[in-house]
């Protein structure tokens, strides 16, 4: 296909802490549930309306998984840039089912914290409860699209302590 683009941009809040799993060969996969919502005023009744949309985000990129694991919590506001992917699976009765997810994997994927409430951690200002800097715009390098795998990973109690680097190409402004 002569030039194809598949891009999703979301700003929303996490409905729950990230779930981190790990593939058999050790690569992390993070799942996020992100809510976006719209509000408007009904033309007739004049009353305020709201509609919330829930999005499933899957992070295959190792660096972004680390960010998710260490800094993201229920309630956090994030900017994400990824792509749409519909996955086929079978339910218990063997019927085909489809799930559409926003996948962060490879170049052109981004995950950026924007603050927001966040839980735990004693966040004072609203979620940016991490130290130093250097965490903006985590670019992502490609990673294997594995989706098998198992190991559970309870989120550690680890208090985030800023300062880390992208897993690739650290030394360039862009």
Partner DNA sequence: TTTT
Question: Strand, coil or helix: what is 161?
Answer: coil
Quote the CA–CA distance of 153 and 148 in Å, as a whole number: 15
- 161 forms part of the interface with DNA (CB under 7 A): no
> Does the protein bind DNA through residue 91 (CB under 7 A)?
no
Query: CA gyration radius for the chain?
Result: 18
CB of 26 to DNA, least distance (A): 27
Q: Calculate the CA 106 to chain-centre distance.
A: 14
State the binding partner of 14 from its own copies, DNA, none, CB within 5 to 8 A by kind.
DNA
- The maximal CA–CA distance of the chain, rounded, in angstroms, is 57
Pairing, β 76-90 against β 110-116: antiparallel
Angle at 51 between CA 43 and CA 65, to 5 degrees: 150
Q: Which does 33 bind (CB under 5 to 8 A by kind): its own copies, DNA, none?
A: DNA
> Would you call 159 helix, strand, or coil by DSSP?
coil
Residues of this chain, 97-136, that bind its own copies according to CB under 8 A: 97-100, 102-103, 105-110, 112-116, 125-126, 128, 132-136
Contact between 159 and its own copies per CB under 8 A: no
CA–CA dist 167, 155 (Å, integer): 21
Q: Which of 22, 27, 33, 155 binds DNA (CB under 7 A)?
A: 33
CA distance 17 to 71: 10
Give which of its own copies, DNA, none residue 15 binds (C-beta under 5 to 8 Å, depending on kind).
DNA
75 interacts with, out of DNA, its own copies, none, CB within 5 to 8 A per kind: DNA
Task: State in angstroms the smallest separation of the CB of 94 from its own copies.
Answer: 13
- Among the listed ranges 70-78, 90-98, 102-110, 138-146, the one in contact with DNA (CB under 7 A) is 70-78
Instruction: Give residues in contact with DNA (CB under 7 A).
Output: 1-2, 12-16, 33, 35, 37, 39, 50, 52, 54, 74-75, 77, 116-117, 119, 125, 128, 133
């Amino acid at each position: 296909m002569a030039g194809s683009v598949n891009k999703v941009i979301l700003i929303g809040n996490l409905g729950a802490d990230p779930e981190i799993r790990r593939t058999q060969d050790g690569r992390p996969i993070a799942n996020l549930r992100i809510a976006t919502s719209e509000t408007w005023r009904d033309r007739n009744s004049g009353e305020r309306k709201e509609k919330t949309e829930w999005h499933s985000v899957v992070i295959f990129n190792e660096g972004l998984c680390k960010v998710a694991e260490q800094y993201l919590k229920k309630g956090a506001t994030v900017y994400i840039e990824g792509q749409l992917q519909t996955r086929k699976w079978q339910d218990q009765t063997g019927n085909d089912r489809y799930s559409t997810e926003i996948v962060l994997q490879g170049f052109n994927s981004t995950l950026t914290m924007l603050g927001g409430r966040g839980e735990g951690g004693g966040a004072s200002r609203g979620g940016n409860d991490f130290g130093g800097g250097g965490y903006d715009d985590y670019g992502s390098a490609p990673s294997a699209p594995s989706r098998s795998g198992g190991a559970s990973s309870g989120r550690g109690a680890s208090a985030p302590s800023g300062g880390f680097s992208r897993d690739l190409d650290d030394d360039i402004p862009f």
